Amino acid sequence: MTRLLFILCVFSCPLIGAQIATPSIHQEQLNYYNSLGNSFSNYYESQHTEIVNHEKSNCTLDKVVYGWHPYWVGSAYLNYQWDLLSHLSFFSYEVNSSDGQPINTHGWSTSAAVDAALASGNTKVTLCVTLFSGHSTFFASSTAQQTLIANLINLVQSRGAHGVNIDFEGLPSSQATNFANFMVDLSNQMHIAIPNSEVSTVLYAVDWNNVFDFTIMEPYVDHYIIMGYAYYYSGSATAGPTDPLYHFGTTYNYTLSRSITYYLDKGCPKSKLVLGLPNYGYEWPTSSLTVPSATTASGTARTYAYVRNNSSGNYSVANHIWETDSYSDVFAFNSGSNTQCIMSMDSSWSKRLEHVRRTGIAGIGIWALGYDNGYTELWNTMGDYLTDCYEDPCSGTIHDFGGPTRNYYDDENYTWTIAPPNASSLNIDFSIFDVELNYDYLYIYDGPDENATQIPGSPYTGTTAPLPFTTSSGSVTFKFTSDGATVTPGFLGSYTCNIVPPPVAGFSYGVLEICNGDSVALMSTSTDADMYYWSTLAGSLSDPNDENPYLFPGSSGTYSVTLTVDNVSGTDQITQILDITVNEPPVADAVPSSTQLTLPNATVFFTNNSINSNEYFWDFGDAATSTDQNPWHEYLSNGSFDGYLVAMNSPCPNDTSIFTINVGLEGVDYISSGVISVAPNPFTDFVSISSVLKIETVTIKDVKGRIVPTEWESSLHGIKVNTNELAAGSYFLEIQIGSELFEYKLFKN
């Protein structure tokens, strides 16, 4: 590490303590480095620094990360992770209270750190403006105020920067209104001169003098940044964390959590409130190694990097104590005398960032950038908690905003949701519940926000704890409100989540050879899926959100089918190519060579004119069948035979063609006096009648019994009837032989 950081770490920096007006860490360190004689950023940027390689985060900030860059940290900016830094505020423009002119701007116009931040494309750059004394002089002069405003606008514009951060410390209550009006005037002029510029101000960890009037400053100021440190300082009588998240000890209970609640209750919007956090702590000689312990002398500031370097060997695992009340790291050791160093290391840092998410405020500030130089752990934690990659753990504690072991505060009003990824439900169990009866309340919603249904018994008050319960989904929302008086231990509980495995997409399908108009069944074989979405580039789907829909292809070909499945744990997708054959339905058409036959030799040749078929079944009507494509069949008896042809083409439905074959008798009638023969039957042009007996008359009648005129002639062997003039159809033939009359049914083709 550089000599610069070593100087910072050993310098004693008394901060604001319990109602003791001492210079802040900002003022103390500014005064110290100014006293060294090289008070310009260019000097320190020329000093060597260790470069730490890091990969750019794949996550996007969804919280403000506002880092102060003191001019003396030099080239430490080379290790800043710009994608995780929303604002860099160059420290500082020192205000001359008498005229508003700068005492020093410490190299703002040429700082390489400012150049790098502007070039990052992600980080906004502001100029921090400091005034630690002479407030009444400054606010008594409208000229000094306007000069300062004009200078700031010019300096921001000339740098292509984005705004200013006002750090006026030690303001007395008598200047509260003047300060608020100045902030409004500055904001209005800056916003007009530089569109989309930002104006912010610091807020004190403890507002002893009630100097911040949000009724005046709102809505003009863009951000309000709590200097969330100096709760314990170098001169504290008790060794304690400079930034206790919750109560440390039993009497002095000013904490980060309380400061947030205080400013929200004063009217600061959550969306603008930023919690500044320190990358330093203090090391005191103490009366014992027990936590807490009285101090025996003033403390010395130690940076995060100094403790991580651990050149002394004192900051070891063996000497580490996790302070469970305030969520702080303590290193207690004896290196000639009892000593305690208390600061926020990695676990403490993550607890504070988690608190920022729970309270719903805008984000964090950092005093100071570069104090972790050479290490990436704090940046990594910011990537986990302050970006869109944040995930609630699958198990954890639920407690009020006084912490798990101490009382909550007055005037709290917080709503937060726990929704671990991939959780199907949460098991909730409270071990402690004690809030002021009928004044303070815990609401519990079975879902992701206050629109969800409250669990039975909600809201809870008094000492009746919620019974253990399991949510109906993977999220639960809590809302806690307290009034302005009387605080109690609050509540403590735990939760665990029930995990749903990520879905795995899969599907099978039915027969791929189908008939036109039919469909292919799609059947999901996915596991752990709650939602389905099917898609195809061709054809249509019965319902793309069904678990098992049908695909309707328009024609034969290849079809790309994709199934996407979801559940609370994720998404999966599979695509398959289906080679589908679409057949046209068969049309049966049977054509017999003749439908009117006579015995013997009553043979029919069948022509199959069916289309779109490849299998056939013939039934000839006389119990005989065939599967030939073009069969022939001989009828052996007379009569009318109804037959059919079935044309088949799997998987299409069958089609049937029906036909009727009439088979008549060429046959023989026996009478007492001889034999009569009639042929052919069916006939076309003529009918021949022969008999051993004399034929007297021959008459042909239609089906209505009317005589049909015909011509006939006798020959040696009988009579030949000319039927050319007869229409096709059925007729009756009457033959008179002697006193007997014989009748035959005839068929003309």
For residues 200 and 223, what is the distance between their CA atoms, to the nearest angstrom? 5
Where is mean pLDDT largest: 531-545, 663-677, 695-709? 531-545
How would residue 672 be classed by pLDDT, with cut points 50, 70 and 90?
A: very low
For residues 570 and 580, what is the distance between their CA atoms, to the nearest angstrom? 32
For residues 634 and 641, what is the distance between their CA atoms, to the nearest angstrom? 12
650 and 627 in contact (C-beta within 8 Å)? no
Please state which of the four CATH numbers 1.10.10.10, 2.60.40.1220, 3.30.1330.200, 3.60.15.10 is assigned to the domain occupying 669-748: 2.60.40.1220
pLDDT of residue 675: 61
Averaged pLDDT for residues 582-603: 89
Fold held by 395-499: Jelly Rolls (2.60.120)
pLDDT of residue 663: 87
**What are the φ/ψ torsions at residue 528 (nearest 5 degrees)?**
60, 30
Q: Measured between alpha carbons, how far is residue 276 from residues 224, 227, 574, 687 in Å?
A: 10, 5, 48, 123
DSSP for 407-476 reads ---TT-EEEEEE--TTEEEEEEEEEEEE--TTTSEEEEESSSSTTSPBPTTPSB-TT-PPPPEE-SSS-E
95 and 149 in contact (C-beta within 8 Å)? no
Residue pLDDT, tens place only, 545-554: 999 999 999 8
Helices (H) and strands (E) in the chain, counts: 12, 45
For residues 15 and 233, what is the distance between their CA atoms, to the nearest angstrom? 5
DSSP for 639-656 reads EEEEEEEEEE-TTSPPEE
pTM of the model: 0.73
pLDDT(723) > 50? yes
Q: Long-range contacts of range 148-154, CB-CB < 8 Å, 24 or more positions apart? A: 148/95, 148/100, 148/101, 149/100, 149/185, 149/186, 149/189, 149/190, 151/93, 151/100, 151/101, 151/102, 152/93, 152/127, 152/186, 152/190, 153/189, 153/190, 153/193, 153/194
300 or 716, which is more confident: 300
Peptide bond just before 23 cis, omega within 30 deg: no
Averaged pLDDT for residues 640-651: 92
Residue pLDDT, tens place only, 145-194: 999 999 999 999 999 999 999 999 999 999 999 999 999 999 999 999 99
> Considering the chain, what percentage of its residues have pLDDT values greater than 90?
77
Structure tokens at 212: 């911040």
Q: With the C-alpha atoms ordered 507, 512, 514, 517, is the resulting torsion angle positive or negative?
A: positive
Structural domain 507-583, CATH architecture: Sandwich (2.60)
**What are the φ/ψ torsions at residue 85 (nearest 5 degrees)?**
-125, 110
pLDDT of residue 720: 86
Longest CA–CA span in the chain (Å) reads: 161
pLDDT of residue 18: 38
In terms of phi and psi (left: phi > 0; alpha: psi -120 to 50; beta: otherwise), the region of 351 is alpha
- One fold for both 3-55+63-280+344-385 and 507-583? no
Residue pLDDT, tens place only, 372-389: 998 999 999 999 999 999
pLDDT of residue 11: 33
DSSP summary character for residue 383? H
How would residue 728 be classed by pLDDT, with cut points 50, 70 and 90?
A: confident
Averaged pLDDT for residues 586-606: 89
> Average per-residue pLDDT in the chain?
91
pLDDT of residue 147: 98
Closest residue by Cα to residue 703 from 748, 642, 640, 739 = 748
How would residue 21 be classed by pLDDT, with cut points 50, 70 and 90?
A: low
Closest residue by Cα to residue 739 from 671, 669, 665 = 671
Residue pLDDT, tens place only, 209-241: 999 999 999 999 999 999 999 999 999 999 999
Please state which of the four CATH numbers 2.30.36.70, 2.60.40.10, 3.10.20.740, 1.10.150.120 is assigned to the domain occupying 590-665: 2.60.40.10
Q: With the C-alpha atoms ordered 546, 547, 548, 550, is the resulting torsion angle positive or negative?
A: positive
In this structure, are strands 441-445 and 476-481 parallel, antiparallel, or unpaired? antiparallel
pLDDT of residue 693: 78
Please state which of the four CATH numbers 3.40.190.10, 3.20.20.80, 3.40.50.300, 3.40.50.880 is assigned to the domain occupying 3-55+63-280+344-385: 3.20.20.80
Residue pLDDT, tens place only, 32-88: 999 999 899 999 998 876 677 777 778 999 999 999 999 999 999 999 999 999 999
Averaged pLDDT for residues 573-590: 95
> Considering the chain, what percentage of its residues have pLDDT values greater than 70?
95
pLDDT of residue 148: 98
pLDDT(635) > 80? yes
In this structure, are strands 64-70 and 320-323 parallel, antiparallel, or unpaired? unpaired
For residues 27 and 38, what is the distance between their CA atoms, to the nearest angstrom? 17
pLDDT of residue 12: 33
For residues 370 and 494, what is the distance between their CA atoms, to the nearest angstrom? 37
For residues 361 and 263, what is the distance between their CA atoms, to the nearest angstrom? 11
Give me the half-sphere count of Cα atoms (radius 13 Å) on the Cβ side of residue 714. 7
pLDDT(8) > 80? no
For residues 71 and 124, what is the distance between their CA atoms, to the nearest angstrom? 17
Q: With the C-alpha atoms ordered 536, 538, 543, 549, is the resulting torsion angle positive or negative?
A: negative
Residue pLDDT, tens place only, 150-162: 999 999 999 999 9
Residue type, 485: A
pLDDT(624) > 70? yes
The b/e string for 309-321 (b: 16+ C-beta within 10 A; e otherwise) is: beeeebbeeebee
Q: Measured between alpha carbons, how far is residue 537 from residues 546, 552, 553, 575 in Å?
A: 18, 12, 11, 11
Averaged pLDDT for residues 578-607: 90
400 and 408 in contact (C-beta within 8 Å)? yes
pLDDT(343) > 60? yes
Listed by start position, the domains of the chain span 3-55+63-280+344-385, 395-499, 507-583, 590-665, 669-748
Residue owning tokens 């507002």 = 207
Closest residue by Cα to residue 85 from 114, 110, 50 = 114
Closest residue by Cα to residue 516 from 652, 655, 654 = 652
